[in-house]
Amino acid sequence: MDLTPEQKTASSIMDSIKNSVNRVMVLPQEKLLELMLVAVICRGHILLDDIPGVGKTMLARTFAASLGLDCKRIQFTPDLLPADVTGMNVFNQKEREFEFRPGPVFTSILLADEINRATPRTQSSLLESMQEATVTIDGVTHSLQDPFLVMATQNPVEMEGTFPLPEAQLDRFLFCLRLGYPSREGEKEIINRFINANPLEQVEPVAGYEEIRSMREALNGVFLGRPVQEYIVDLGRNTRELEGIRLGTSPRGTLYLARAAQAMALLRGRDYVLPDDVQDVASPVLSHRLLTSVSSTVFAVTGEELVSKALKETPVPVGPFTAGEADAT
């Protein structure tokens, strides 16, 4: 099948974002940028989970600047209140009535920095906005901007002063991504770039609202064949049956996996999904949704290892993958 102009645009935007971000960041994994743009296309949210100092906040700010969208940042701390995130009704003495003052969540990209340093009550203030793109204050529902994306950073839960995110909130993040340490050469390059200036100040937007809408429209034209659909369902169900699993992925996780695979195919210049697309997004989509048993926790078995095991045990389909092939069978 021939690609539409919108589908061709998606891959070119991806190249532009990579060039823009790579002028600032030295990423140990180029795939990170693909996954972050996949989240934007799928209306998903991103959790950057890693130790302090590896560039989580800088990556989020650089990516937001490259998209040219409105961006606000909240530094999550133990004394932060839900109203500091969502906004509140304030009495206007001049007008003799209450008026709504929106909080930082009313933006296109919300950078929730160190989200797990806030109390569970404040963390949960984002649940409605992440799922419904709305905020309800005193019985009145307010719509958020479109697009709306939460990019949250968190430190490992073992570190002092952190509150683990509840499972219900983790399930609302499309991806959980980890940067990892750069190579030796990469660390030298970081020093060279930042020792005398901040390259983030030179980032120019390479996309915007129109490009995002165009990619989202093109996503609906990416064919997801029945063999790949069954592969996704089998993979999700297998995560619930693995040894060492207390709770496998939810149906929401399976749906997110399908949409993320479609968006990955779109960025790679295809209008159909391959099993490779599913495999490339499986770990960041599913790993943070798995709850391990006590024995797995004792032996430090990670969600990524369990997803890798599920991938090995799930048979890979052989086709048909394109709409034309499916019609012919």
Q: Average pLDDT, stretch 115-144?
A: 90
Range of the domain at 28: 1-216
Helix spans in the chain (H): 5-22, 31-41, 56-67, 82-86, 120-123, 127-132, 167-170, 184-194, 209-219, 226-239, 251-267, 275-286, 294-298, 303-313, 323-328
Q: Which residue has the higher pLDDT, 76 or 28?
A: 76
Q: Which residue has the higher pLDDT, 313 or 27?
A: 313
Q: Average pLDDT, stretch 204-208?
A: 86
Residue 128 has pLDDT above 50, yes or no: yes
Last residue of one domain, picked from the residues 198, 216, 234: 216
Asked whether residue 230 falls in the same domain as residue 323, the answer is yes
Asked whether residue 53 falls in the same domain as residue 173, the answer is yes
Last residue of one domain, picked from the residues 195, 216, 237: 216
Residues 152, 147: Cα–Cα separation, whole Å: 16
Asked whether residue 67 falls in the same domain as residue 189, the answer is yes
Asked whether residue 54 falls in the same domain as residue 165, the answer is yes
Nearest to 112 by CA among 169, 168, 159: 169
Q: How many domains does the chain have?
A: 2
Instruction: Give pLDDT tens digits for 146-182.
Output: 889 999 988 776 666 778 888 888 889 999 998 888 8
User: Which CATH number is 174's domain given?
Assistant: 3.40.50.300
Residues 6+ apart with CB under 8 A from 279: 311
pLDDT (0 to 100) of residue 235 = 95
Asked whether residue 202 falls in the same domain as residue 227, the answer is no
Asked whether residue 139 falls in the same domain as residue 14, the answer is yes
Last residue of one domain, picked from the residues 216, 250, 282: 216
pLDDT (0 to 100) of residue 154 = 87
> SS3 of 235, please?
helix
Asked whether residue 10 falls in the same domain as residue 149, the answer is yes
The total number of residues written for the chain in this structure = 329
Q: Which residue has the higher pLDDT, 109 or 294?
A: 109
Q: Quickly state the pLDDT bin for 45 (edges 50, 70, 90).
A: very high
Burial class of 192 by CB neighbour count within 10 A (0 to 12, 13 to 18, 19+): exposed
Asked whether residue 261 falls in the same domain as residue 281, the answer is yes
Q: Average pLDDT, stretch 262-276?
A: 93
pLDDT (0 to 100) of residue 4 = 60
Asked whether residue 194 falls in the same domain as residue 238, the answer is no
Asked whether residue 210 falls in the same domain as residue 225, the answer is no
Q: Quickly state the pLDDT bin for 104 (edges 50, 70, 90).
A: very high
Instruction: Give pLDDT tens digits for 219-265.
Output: 999 999 999 999 999 999 999 988 878 888 889 999 999 999 999 99
Asked whether residue 253 falls in the same domain as residue 196, the answer is no
Q: Quickly state the pLDDT bin for 298 (edges 50, 70, 90).
A: very low
User: Which CATH number is 310's domain given?
Assistant: 1.10.8.80
Q: Quickly state the pLDDT bin for 326 (edges 50, 70, 90).
A: low
Q: Average pLDDT, stretch 298-319?
A: 84
Q: Quickly state the pLDDT bin for 7 (edges 50, 70, 90).
A: low
Asked whether residue 235 falls in the same domain as residue 108, the answer is no
